[in-house]
Structure 1
Amino acid sequence: MRDNTRDYLDLFLNDIPLLDVRAPVEFSKGAFPGATNLALINDDERHQIGICYKQQGQQAAIDLGNKLVSGAERDARMQAWQDWWQANPEGYLYCFRGGLRSQTTQAWLQEAGIDAPLVTGGYKAMRTFLLEQLEQCIATLPFEILCGRTGCAKTRVIVAQPNAVDLEGLAHHRGSAFGRRPGGQPSQIDFENALAIALIKMRAQQYPAVLLEDESKLIGRCHLPFSLQDKIKSQPRIIINESLESRVQVTLEDYVAGPLQEYRQHFGDQEALQQLGEALLSAMDRIKRRLGGLRHQQLRQQLEEALAVQAINGDTELHREWIHTLLADYYDPMYDYMMSKREGEVLFEGSRDEVSAFLNERAATS
């Protein structure tokens, strides 16, 4: 039998499969990328056992747990664990603190002939480890910040570079009022866990610098660590410059065409355009105060007209009108203000293709 492990770094660096036997409500509040939740006790059972523990003590709670998870229920959970272990023989299991629930799961699996090692300290210890590593990585890693106006396709450049961390990808959000994506965002804890693991992996690769997209304090509702916010403001910058018309095209692709495809995957063809329209109109309304009443009214009307034409014949050209105005009159002034607060030296400035070539050339020689 493999030993239980405290080597949290190895678990995350090597994407070791993890079996989380906490209750679903615990898993939903915070988990690790790639972990599978197959609970020993479900939410209702956990609630009952918790009350019993407070009123009657540990042994009574254990006895109640054994009563609740017995017979067909126990067999079903055992089968699910066995199936998971057959598919992930190199995995580890854990509960919240590496205590009774993971030890019980381990013992039951051993009865079935499966030697399943657990993570000592459980979720709490791994979470603490990641938070510590996150701050260490932010403090010690050299960063370079990719800047550019909305629509410069910074994210496309980011995902093409081996030394980059896609913050918007981790947050499942495009980073603006119009950046919501189908499926919603991860919890703040999940975002922090994924960010910590991404930076740990960057550190292990020993790149000369880690490339990040310039972000404000929030990506949707995911909050960047304060230390990372401060570092982004001061690190060396690489700036993409693209024409307004080029940025309109990219924004059309990223805010209209791309999301429509995602909505189709979630809702099917008939409902996808309705979902897209509701999302875009809601985003426009969220920035009403900053746009001003008249400008908001004009842009909303243009957006409604564009959606109506798109619904009739699939043509998206009318979207260019509201996107053009929004970029020039709303996002560009915001970008100019943000850049006035940045302090890092400019390493390179050019078109998206020139920036990509600059980054690729450096990657080839580093």
Structure 2
Amino acid sequence: MQETIELEKALEQRRNGALIIDVRTPAEFAESTIPGAMNVPIFSNEERVQIGTLFKRKGKMAARKLGVEIVAPKIPALLERIEDFRCGHSGPVIVFCWRGGMRSLAMTSFMNLAGIPARQLLGGHKGFRRKVLDFFEQQEWPPIFVLRGLTGVGKTRILDRLQQMDYPVIDLEGLANHRGSAFGALGLEPQPSQKQFDALLWDRLSQLQDSPYLVTEGESLHIGRLMVPKSFHQAMQIQTSVWIKASLDIRTRIILEDYPALDQLREQFERPINALKERLGNKLVGEFLELLNSGQWDKLVRELMVRYYDPLYMHTLPERRIEIELDTMASVTEKVAVALDKLIEDKDDLS
């Protein structure tokens, strides 16, 4: 009898060390998957297209026959790859495809025949995606405390330190692989898809589901080309914020440190600078480009902050805020931690 498993049970076993195998194509896997899943594709991208084309032309049986012919020689290598992934994992292997159909059924059967305990995920990735969407539509959020401040005050660095201190941190920019500004993608790998960003955020929130509050960084609704789920973003606007202040000198230093190997990125800076013409005009953008081309990075960063970022983001100064001055990262993190503890204490006193 074919072994199957419901999504909720599979996610529970995933947290307990089960191995999750995504047998969809590399292209499907790259677009979105269950966080932590390993890709062992039954078909290549091209083979899936070939089978789909045959299905449209000659029907299901012909497509299935071709699928068997393609997969049969691969079975030993597929099983060997899964065995390699099993190191460090306990419990059965959980296998999924798009809808819990033939691909995951076939792989689960191969594995069980080979003596590898395996279960097919009912509903596949489609069911998981539905769960993520329902989560963001229906979730009731705990208090979310937000670090805010002008560009360059090191909010992401503070979040990282807080996370190391076991505070319940949601690093939206880390999940989105973007620094959250006009230049935020430079020097980084491409952003994940919107589906995968949603999945990664769901995963992190699931890890913190028992936390009475969350801590994150102030963001607009969009981080690069990705959108923060609206319900979560709206919840970010409710609580008292922590506003980090720093001198222009400190902010400039932090920005320059956040963009290593600037000379190698010079050409990549031109496009986002040119995109500022509509807001700032040709003359000022021309001055920025001159600083860029002459390698005057310190002055360029200062001018961008004073002439563009600071006027743009001063409107994010919240009415309900605690202000903390940045001197060193260690001390400001301690001050933020104390402020967060006080905010939680005050909320507990009111409840």
TM-score range, shorter chain: 0.7 to 0.9
CA shift in 2, pair 1:93/1:87, >3 Å: farther
Asked if the contact 1:157/1:356 (under 8 Å) is kept, the reply is yes
RMSD value over aligned CA atoms?
2.5
Partner of 1:108, secondary structure, is helix
- Would you say 1:252 and 2:241 are equivalent positions? no
Where does structure 1 lack aligned partners over 5 or more consecutive residues? Answer: 261-271, 307-317
- Matches of 1:320 and 1:86 in 2, distance apart? 49
- Aligned-pair CA distance for 1:13: 4.7
Q: Which residue of 1 aligns with 2:47?
A: 45
Greater percentage in helix: 1
Task: Judge which range, 191-200 or 79-88, deviates more.
Answer: 79-88
Asked if the contact 2:144/2:214 (under 8 Å) is kept, the reply is yes
Asked if the contact 2:136/2:231 (under 8 Å) is kept, the reply is no
- Matches of 1:243 and 1:116 in 2, distance apart? 58
CA shift in 2, pair 1:58/1:89, >3 Å: farther
Task: Judge which range, 38-47 or 147-156, deviates more.
Answer: 38-47
Task: Judge which range, 78-87 or 23-32, deviates more.
Answer: 78-87
- Matches of 1:12 and 1:223 in 2, distance apart? 27
Partner of 1:183, secondary structure, is coil
- Matches of 1:167 and 1:277 in 2, distance apart? 26
Asked if the contact 2:35/2:200 (under 8 Å) is kept, the reply is yes
Asked if the contact 1:13/1:201 (under 8 Å) is kept, the reply is no
Residue of structure 2 aligned with 1:216, choices 220, 238, 245: 220
Asked if the contact 1:97/1:123 (under 8 Å) is kept, the reply is yes
- Would you say 1:291 and 2:280 are equivalent positions? yes
Residue of structure 2 aligned with 1:277, choices 254, 266, 278: 266
Asked if the contact 1:82/1:109 (under 8 Å) is kept, the reply is no
Asked if the contact 1:93/1:102 (under 8 Å) is kept, the reply is yes
CA displacement, residues 212-257 of structure 1 (integer Å, 9 cap, x when unaligned)? 11101211111112223333333321111111111111111113x2
- Matches of 1:292 and 1:17 in 2, distance apart? 54
- Aligned-pair CA distance for 1:280: 2.2
Asked if the contact 2:152/2:254 (under 8 Å) is kept, the reply is yes
Residue of structure 2 aligned with 1:358, choices 335, 343, 348: 335
Q: Which residue of 1 aligns with 2:300?
A: 322
CA displacement, residues 308-355 of structure 1 (integer Å, 9 cap, x when unaligned)? xxxxxxxxxx4111111111111011111233xx56x22x21113565
Partner of 2:7, secondary structure, is coil
- Aligned-pair CA distance for 1:66: 0.6
- Matches of 1:18 and 1:191 in 2, distance apart? 19
Percent of aligned pairs with the same amino acid: 32
- Would you say 1:66 and 2:96 are equivalent positions? no
Q: Which residue of 2 aligns with 1:228?
A: 232
Q: Which residue of 2 aligns with 1:113?
A: 115
Asked if the contact 1:145/1:214 (under 8 Å) is kept, the reply is yes
- Would you say 1:303 and 2:292 are equivalent positions? yes
Q: Which residue of 2 aligns with 1:240?
A: 244
Q: Which residue of 1 aligns with 2:150?
A: 149
- Aligned-pair CA distance for 1:356: 2.1
Q: Which residue of 2 aligns with 1:83?
A: 84
Residue of structure 1 aligned with 2:181, choices 173, 176, 184: 176
- Matches of 2:134 and 2:272 in 1, distance apart? 36
Q: Which amino acid aligns with 1:319?
A: W
- Matches of 1:65 and 1:87 in 2, distance apart? 32
Asked if the contact 1:13/1:197 (under 8 Å) is kept, the reply is no
- Matches of 1:64 and 1:82 in 2, distance apart? 26
Asked if the contact 1:349/1:355 (under 8 Å) is kept, the reply is no
CA shift in 2, pair 1:80/1:12, >3 Å: closer
- Aligned-pair CA distance for 1:3: 6.3
Q: Which residue of 2 aligns with 1:100?
A: 102
Asked if the contact 1:175/1:215 (under 8 Å) is kept, the reply is yes
- Matches of 1:337 and 1:120 in 2, distance apart? 48
Residue of structure 2 aligned with 1:198, choices 184, 200, 204: 204
CA displacement, residues 28-58 of structure 1 (integer Å, 9 cap, x when unaligned)? 2212332211111122221222233334443
Residue of structure 1 aligned with 2:133, choices 116, 131, 134: 131
How many equivalent pairs are there?
332
Partner of 2:151, secondary structure, is coil
